[in-house]
């Protein structure tokens, strides 16, 4: 297992460096402060959706409806704000509850009625797409009512000031370092082997330096964007949930072998429903962010984003057979996918080439997952 993980991590790092080098050579603006900030926003939106998809894939399921679903949820909030003059916060809360109810219902159908997730979510893709177009009346619905910004529109236009970004980076580095130290101490207390102190400490220092460098680069434009801060927070939440709670352990056990997990007394049906319910929350947040980033709710919003989320998970090491996947891997996978899309957009690549590139990335990731599973 260690070798397989090492090969995957190595290949992901090389792939990301190669992508960045190619687009930088093709257009030096790729790593310019403004475009780098936009890249982080786009990556954050995709990664938040992929974090929800990770919970689904780890449990041995799949969800093909999230792209259409995030358009629907974002469209509901947009219509309530623009056409019915609802406060943005109330509109977003209502749309979030709708997303939570829809995905909980889908999860119940999959878990208790034993309907394959592929079929249910494929049907959801079509239903949500039609409902989305119906809600917005096949029109373009802006997220700003009366020409004034609101909480909805600020989701992707607010940036933390430079000092705030530095504080945020310090908190992230501190939390990661403290968590790693506590895990190390727990392993030592149980008599388990741990990494030598020097290389462990060096990794923490390198991580802190990488965080500081990222904050410095973002501060060269406007500061740390709010979507990136939300991604960091949700990454910690999902990591803690999946690694330090009974729900997380049951999630991996269910995906690894559902029948064995059920015999062991794990409530697999409730675990699957819980995973889909959480997916509903991530779909709602991604829908709000994507709609705010686009500036309006349009019929093409969320198109193929379910495939980007799945690709991010698989590129990051999650197995489509379930039982394997990490938050850090998903973040790397989402960054690779966002870099591809951002770079192709910067180079004005035609839409058909973008489709080919996205499909090739997904196919290559699945092939790599199968090859590493056999090795």
Task: Extract the tokens encoding 196.
Answer: 């030598």
Give one DSSP letter per residue of 300-313, joined into a string: TTTTTHHHHHHHHH
Runs of H (alpha helix) within the chain: 2-26, 33-58, 66-82, 88-112, 117-136, 151-154, 162-189, 197-219, 226-244, 246-256, 258-263, 268-294, 305-315, 327-346, 351-374
Can you give the pLDDT of all 375 residues of the chain as single tens digits?
334 445 666 777 788 899 999 999 999 999 999 999 999 999 999 999 999 999 999 999 999 999 999 999 999 999 999 889 899 899 999 999 999 999 999 999 999 999 999 999 999 999 999 999 999 999 999 887 655 667 888 899 999 999 999 999 999 999 999 988 998 898 888 888 888 888 889 989 999 999 999 999 999 999 999 999 999 999 999 999 998 899 999 999 999 999 999 999 999 999 999 999 999 999 999 999 999 999 999 999 998 899 999 999 998 888 888 888 999 999 999 999 999 999 999 999 998 998 898 888 888 877 877 776 665
Q: Note whether 125 and 64 are within 8 A (CB).
A: yes
Q: What was the pLDDT predicted at 145?
A: 61
Count of alpha carbons within 13 Å of 268, Cβ hemisphere only?
Answer: 23
Evaluate whether 117 touches 61 at the Cβ level (below 8 Å). yes
User: Tokens for 93?
Assistant: 């809360």
Task: State how far the Cα of 271 lies from the Cα of 274, in Å rounded to an integer.
Answer: 5
Residue 371's alpha-carbon distances to 18, 294, 365, 366, in angstroms, are 22, 38, 10, 9
pLDDT at res. 151: 84
What does the alpha-carbon distance between residue 138 and residue 144 come to, in Å, rounded to a whole number? 18
How far apart, in whole angstroms, are the C-alpha atoms of residue 326 and residue 225?
24
Terminal Cα-to-Cα distance of the chain (whole angstroms) = 9
Task: Indicate the SS3 state at residue 114.
Answer: coil
Within 10 A of 85 (CB to CB), how many other CB atoms are there?
A: 10
pLDDT at 340: 93
For residue 1, the model assigns a pLDDT of: 35
CA distances from 289 to 8, 58, 190 (A): 30, 25, 44
CB 228 within 8 A of CB 44: yes
């Amino acid at each position: 297992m260690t070798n397989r993980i090492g090969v995957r991590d190595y290949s992901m790092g090389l792939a990301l460096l190669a992508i960045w080098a190619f687009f930088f050579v093709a257009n030096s603006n790729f790593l310019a402060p403004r475009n780098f900030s936009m890249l982080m926003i786009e990556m954050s939106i995709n990664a938040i959706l992929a974090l929800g998809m990770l919970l689904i894939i780890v449990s041995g399921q799949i969800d093909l409806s999230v792209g259409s679903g995030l358009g629907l949820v974002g469209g509901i909030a947009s219509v309530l704000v623009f056409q019915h003059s609802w406060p943005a916060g109330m509109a977003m809360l209502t749309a979030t509850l709708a997303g939570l109810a829809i995905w909980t219902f889908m999860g119940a159908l999959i878990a208790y009625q034993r309907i394959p997730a592929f079929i249910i979510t494929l049907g959801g893709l079509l239903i949500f797409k039609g409902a989305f177009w119906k809600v917005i009346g096949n029109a373009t619905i802006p997220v700003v009512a009366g020409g004034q910004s609101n909480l909805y529109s600020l989701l992707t236009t607010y940036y933390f000031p430079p000092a705030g970004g530095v504080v945020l980076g310090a908190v992230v580095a501190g939390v990661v370092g403290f968590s790693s130290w506590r895990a190390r101490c727990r392993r030592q207390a149980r008599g388990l082997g741990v990494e030598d102190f020097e290389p462990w400490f060096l990794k923490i220092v390198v991580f802190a330096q990488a965080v500081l460098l990222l904050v410095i680069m973002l501060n060269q434009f406007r500061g740390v964007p709010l979507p990136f801060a939300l991604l960091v927070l949700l990454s910690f939440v999902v990591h803690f949930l999946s690694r330090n709670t009974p729900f997380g352990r049951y999630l991996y056990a269910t995906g690894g072998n559902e029948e064995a997990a059920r015999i062991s007394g794990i409530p697999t049906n409730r675990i699957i429903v819980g995973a889909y319910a959480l997916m509903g929350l991530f779909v709602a947040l991604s829908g709000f962010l994507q709609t705010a980033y686009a500036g309006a709710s349009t019929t093409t919003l969320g198109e193929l984003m379910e495939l980007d989320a799945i690709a991010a998970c698989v590129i990051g090491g999650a197995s489509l057979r379930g039982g394997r996947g990490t938050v850090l891997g998903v973040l790397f996978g989402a960054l690779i996918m966002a870099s591809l899309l951002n770079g192709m957009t910067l180079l004005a690549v035609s839409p058909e080439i973008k489709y080919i590139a996205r499909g090739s990335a997904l196919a290559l990731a699945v092939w790599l997952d199968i090859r590493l599973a056999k090795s």
